Structure 1
């Protein structure tokens, strides 16, 4: 966090000096806040682009934050009074809103599957933003007289509406795709990993919820602009975008390495799995139980479905389906049930005189105090300290 604060003082004057040179800036609270958010966004994008972990996903996230920052820059220039003093700055090529949705979706897709490769065919998703960029790049080199004519006769009645309304539609579609993908991913990690604290991606769910709020606000602004002709009276989407950019930057930088995560399940596979009738084999269930109880695999904090499958020499999918169907639990819940029982067994007055509750939890396979307390309460209905009374 200290790097973000330091970057504010370093980047802000460098970034905005060319815009505000020899001009009177109308500084208000929101203008100053936007300057900080935009500066932080550029700084976060740089850190993400050169990050060593999650390279593809971090670079996609850097592009998304940059696209948002450029969109916010237009709002900054307008409310700071810069456009009034420099009308030639209208139609700068800083609008990439058609990239919000695709970048968010491919960020989620690459984050949950570190083997994901961005292919040429994926560029088709970015045709709208390429056309958007080409339009503004062309207009940027036109004289102000033409820009003024274009705004009154073409942009305001047609292309601006297509851009603003189209951005809402694009973001909404890709947001739905991202939510579906992330929900399926979280179901998958439940059945493949015993420790989820660093790979569950709950923070990303929060971002997607904020994005839903953004879509709702954007739709309200569409109605106000298209039906009432009110363009900037209630544009709170700018503030929501600013919050989104900041949270994405901080959370993206802090996201742990997901090199071992390779989620890739197609819709067809999931449909087949859901429809298939399955009768668990008692012998396989017994092998799974014996591996857990005799070999005590649950004591390994990083135990995965693959580890368990290798221990009993079976295919991971076979093991997963037997745990889900035979024991009516996800892999994560199945393993944690053993860990909780191990902790309960050792929570005796004699043991607590020699060690602590957290030490017992760590020895049982938990790897953090927060995770242990949450899971123990889920299984027993009480906190560990309450259980020993």
Structure 2
């Protein structure tokens, strides 16, 4: 699910990359925990033990980048943000000698752990500090980050009355998701901190027995955190904050002015109907609509949301949000309808007498004959040839 989250959203809202990376690392953390304590497999424990611990020090930075960028409606990292990678880098350097140990040596360590879990604090694979310090660093670092994320959420909550964006349904839903996410992580981190402390004070095996109920609570927290994405996928749009368009190709105008356009574009106008006038990004949607009406960029086979983002200088997640909540239509479907609508005009004008239907499909922006026919059939419930025949009959009548 983490990889799907990254793959499907990497070009729309890059902030979800941090969220997916966080889920991936947490999953590795859980798998390492499982192979160390429960699975009793020498091979898998030899693979997971210590190798991925530098990644575990990145859980805090990943969730911090996601929460901060979502609240600020920004993408990417600042130069100073790379300081957050220093602890993981130091830990990685400390593990380099262990990485070059033979696999048989690592299997021997795994065999000892499986035979006696209580020797875990005595096994040191990092040349900079002891195993106890390594175990303690991971949840403590994560706790610092999650507390600061909750602080940012509290600050956003206090300032919500000063912005119109915070009053939208999308803002409320995303804020609630961020709160659930961070509180769920807080439960998980608390579990590991208590487990680490008890494992240091007592024997790790005894600590695990007494901690089993807390493991169940943590599992429920993780379940809530992950499956919230399945039930409310629109939270991945973030909290779009409208900004002034920086020298856009098409200057945004009021929706009523668009209605005054010539009769020729009436059909496109119907396809580009807008909703939710009170939405904070409504004017951005108006600008996108006029851009589609005037420039007809969809006639380019390479046209995508990224094209709109570059031409109008609008963030990709804002564009995706506009199509989902203001146009109330998926981008791919709207692009298909506009292309078919353009092809229908060419067919009605009798251009097939001079050029082939295949040539019209290319002029309408379709990359292949099969795509054109499939799209035309889906929109009009007839093939281009049938449409031409029907149009001819109507004219003769």
Q: TM-score, normalised by structure 1?
A: 0.49
Query: Rg: which structure is higher?
Result: 2
Structure with bigger RCO (C-alpha 8 Å, 6+ apart): 1
